[in-house]
A and B are shown apart, each in its own frame.
Chain A
Amino acid sequence: MTSPGTNRLAMGRFAPFAVLAFFALLPFWMTDQYFLHVLIITGIFIIAAISLNLLLGYTGQLSLGHVAFFGIGSYASALMSIGFDLNVFGWMLVVTPKPVWFCILCGIFVAGLAGWLIGKVSFKIRGAYFVIVTISFAEVMRLVALNWIDLTEGPMALNNIPPLTLWLPFAGETTFWSKVPNYFLVLSIAAICFEIVRRIVVSRVGRAVIALRENEPLAMSVGIDVTRYLLIITVISAAMAGAAGGLYSHYVRIIDPDVFLFIFTVTMVIMVVVGGKGTLWGPIVGGLLFGIMPEALREFAAPEVQWIIYGVAMIIVLIFLPQGIVPAVGSWLQSRRHGSEPPATPEPPGAKGAADPS
């Protein structure tokens, strides 16, 4: 069911446009600025979750330091927009403030480069090693951001990060001070990321990494250069997380080393796993759920109680829908459509029996 080209995608033909239209129209009747703020932050995390899903869901490689790419993207973009001087072996590198759109692109590039490095060092030996390398990488990046005070201001944080300024049709030169333009910006970037992932999944590269996830020795035996394709996907995923980071820094306009905290990676993983890893909609559903739920609960429950509800909700989802919400809804829809016919999907990957000869 997680494979490309199956009939599950039939339902997906119009759904993306319907969802996009819904969210595009939302600010016209939803005038609550606070709620828009929540949606913007949620949207930024959904972009990060989409990028993590590309790696975790489709290649099966768990990046437990995915926040590193997010943080690198946000620091790179913020620094470029504020400007900085750097003493590189006695040679002064002076960067004057650059336009924000250009800075976000730089953030995407630097994050992609970091992804390439990490992939290069860890994909010779995959699996657990990749997890360890990524965790350490994120933690090292946090310590660098904390201690390289000349560049990052350390715990004093980088503040006064300029918001995005763009030339827009009808509006002319516009600075994104208010919620609504930021909301549309995040929405469009999220839509672009969704489309990028959708295209990758049905492409040759996508096929190759899905084959790797399902059966590595077999993937190699059909002539797939596994390491190379994994590296490509890691770079794309890291760059996408970097884009989310860039959006974050120019929306929130202050960042400190806490953007590298492990808890953010955990949040992304939870969004992907609960929503349904290896599905296009998984990170979106999971992201909306875990982005909005804390706010929805805020009126009724104290923060401590909220965390408990949060945890219980996650456990319940994983017990009853071990594959995540999206696959469960998908097979429910399919079984309704086909009546009693059993769904044409094997058991979950954990049940090895599905692939064993009978």
Chain B
Amino acid sequence: MLELKDIECRYGKISAVRGLSLEVKEGEFVTLIGANGAGKTTTLKCISGLLPAAKGTITFQGKDISNAPAADILAMGIGHCPEGRRVFPYMSVEENLEMGCYLRKDKDAIHEDMEQLFDRFPVLKERRKQAAGTLSGGEQQMLAISRALMSRPKLVLFDEPSLGLAPNLVDRMFQIVRDIRDQGVTVLMVEQNAYAALELCDHAYVLESGEVTLKGTGSELLENPNVREAYLGT
């Protein structure tokens, strides 16, 4: 479905990702793990068109999308749920969701999708008129995930969905991501919480200073002594 070949991304003269190749098959749950600064977020930004690739090609469903504008990539079906500040703080929950489908014109279907998401996350429905900045961290993350789904993506990129959440919420968040995959949306997730990510995913790639150093199924990597030592602390 998605294929990256020999991608290089630079911030000025510093290359954050070098010669990276990876593949995501339709219906899969793939994770990228690695330490801070390994180039995980950069890779996602490059896929969604927020950052140009200096070299290499990205193909999505057989089409070359390297260096296409972000809006086009989104319209083709790649949703991105970025890390960090995840919501528009002064907009209401509902308005945040509307922003997620900014490029869509089908009003009725948008409304339906929104109601479905409200069924899945009743807490968002309760607060639909409330400014998103007043939600708790977990609620904001639910909103961010919901917003990414509003564009009806075929593939969603999640960047650190567990970042900054209380431990009990982390499990919940991974379960949500898993549910999304089970409903037929392909998922590419970046995570620092390597153990949880490897347990849930189908395939995983380990990134070290901008390069893929290991790849395999989730369970293979969980057994790998190097991974255990570097990321799982055992």
Contact = CB atoms under 8 A, between A and B. Distances in A.
A complexed with B: yes
Interface of A: 1-7, 204, 207-208, 210-211, 214-215, 217-225, 344-347, 349, 352, 354-358
B42 interface: no
A217 B74 contact: no
A221 B92 contact: no
Contacts of B102: 204, 207-208, 222-224
B129 interface: yes
A347 B133 contact: yes
Nearest to A5: B95
Contact of B129 (A215, A221, A344): A344
Contacts of B48: 221
Contacts of B75: 223
B82 interface: yes
B137 A222 contact: no
Contacts of B95: 3-5, 207
B12 to A, nearest CB: 13
Contact-size category for B? 35 or more
Given A210-B91, A344-B129, A218 B50 contact: no
Name A's interface SS: loop
B233 interface: no
| Most chain A Cβ neighbours within 10 Å, of B85, B129, B137 | B85
A6 B95 CA distance: 10
Nearest to A224: B102
Interface in B118-173: 129-134, 136-138, 140-141, 147, 151, 163-165
Interface of B: 48, 50, 69-71, 74-75, 80-82, 84-92, 95, 98-100, 102-103, 129-134, 136-138, 140-141, 147, 151, 163-165
A2 B90 contact: yes
A312 to B, nearest CB: 30
Given A1-B131, A7-B129, A354-B133, A223 B86 contact: no
Nearest to A207: B99
B92 A346 contact: no
A217 B48 CA distance: 12
* Among all A-B residue pairs, the 9 with the closest Cβ atoms: A357-B137, A346-B133, A357-B164, A223-B74, A223-B71, A358-B137, A354-B133, A214-B88, A355-B89
Contacts of B74: 221-223
A220 B70 contact: yes
Contact of A218 (B69, B82, B92): B82
